[in-house]
């Protein structure tokens, strides 16, 4: 029986993979978080991997606190870059298939059309820089790896935009949400299904792939959809990024082109609103 190791189990994607794993009993699943496998301990990481001997690694672990990363470069770099290099090096030496999760934040946000995997990567914040370094290390140390870039992830698990908006819309009379950053949300359950579709596909095709739900919206429009589905009585107003300064810059436009992952693996990409309704039903 093939063994799948999942890192970052307590995150949104890791949690959704745990739910989904119950339908994929042909695999032995090993779910780890920092307590079971500390990716910051680079010395012991290789030893632990050799002890576990996985056939697949799905790397969901990351330093994802975008604003905090600006003042925590070393920690972000260890998790998003150096640990990825160790996973990739071990995978290459041990004939293990590595699937690594990356981000739309590797782009600078100046594009005006959906971003293909070959688009230039010029990150504008520490999170994006360290994630790009992780991608490059992954591809260099383990050329057979698969990298999936995703965006605006949410789930019924963990902290995310959907849960925050749902809470605030019930607590406040009005909210301001940025309306000039464009992209598409990703329901982590859909991403988890895409990952499993790739793993059970007859051919493993190495490379970079993009996945998010279908749709081209701003955070403001995303908030309006949450309000509509939740039936919340709250005034939601759109504001420019300049009116909501944050420690880390965000890409203005990071809509991902999903045609490659669809064509290569037959991955289904649901519309963002359909998936949002499914998630919010779980939250009620």
Mind telling me the catalytic residues?
A: 127
Tokens (6 digits) for 151? 């965006």
Work out the angle between the directed axes of helices 188-200 and 272-283 (0-180°, nearest 10): 110
Distance separating alpha carbons of residues 281 and 90, to the nearest angstrom: 41
Distance separating alpha carbons of residues 185 and 154, to the nearest angstrom: 7
Tokens (6 digits) for 168? 């605030």
Task: Let me know if 204 is exposed, middle or buried by CB neighbors in 10 A (0-12, 13-18, 19+).
Answer: middle
Tokens (6 digits) for 233? 């009585």
Distance separating alpha carbons of residues 194 and 9, to the nearest angstrom: 17
């Amino acid at each position: 029986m093939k063994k799948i190791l999942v890192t970052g189990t307590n995150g949104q994607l890791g949690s959704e993979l745990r739910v989904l794993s119950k339908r994929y009993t042909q695999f032995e699943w090993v779910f780890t978080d920092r307590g079971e496998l500390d990716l910051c301990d680079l010395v012991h990481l290789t030893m632990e991997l050799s002890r576990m001997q996985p056939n697949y690694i799905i790397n969901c672990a990351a330093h994802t606190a975008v604003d905090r990363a600006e003042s925590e470069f070393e920690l972000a770099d260890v998790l998003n870059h150096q640990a990825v290099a160790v996973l990739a090096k071990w995978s290459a030496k041990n004939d293990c298939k590595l699937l690594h999760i990356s981000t739309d934040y590797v782009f600078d946000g100046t594009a005006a059309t959906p971003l293909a995997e070959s688009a230039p990567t010029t990150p504008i914040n520490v999170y994006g820089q360290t994630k790009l370094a992780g991608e490059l290390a992954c591809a260099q140390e383990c050329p057979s790896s698969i990298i999936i870039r995703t965006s605006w992830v949410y789930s019924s698990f963990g902290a995310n935009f959907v849960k925050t908006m749902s809470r605030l819309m019930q607590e406040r009379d009005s909210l301001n949400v940025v309306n000039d950053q464009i992209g598409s949300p990703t329901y982590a359950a859909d991403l988890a299904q895409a990952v499993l579709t790739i793993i059970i596909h007859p051919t493993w095709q190495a490379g970079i792939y993009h996945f998010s739900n279908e749709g081209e919206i701003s955070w403001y429009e995303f908030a309006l959809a949450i309000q509509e589905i939740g039936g919340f009585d709250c005034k939601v107003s759109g504001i420019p990024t300049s009116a909501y300064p944050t420690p880390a810059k965000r890409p203005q436009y990071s809509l991902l082109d999903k045609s490659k992952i669809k064509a290569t693996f037959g991955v289904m990409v649901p519309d963002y609103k359909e998936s949002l309704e499914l998630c919010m039903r779980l939250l009620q």
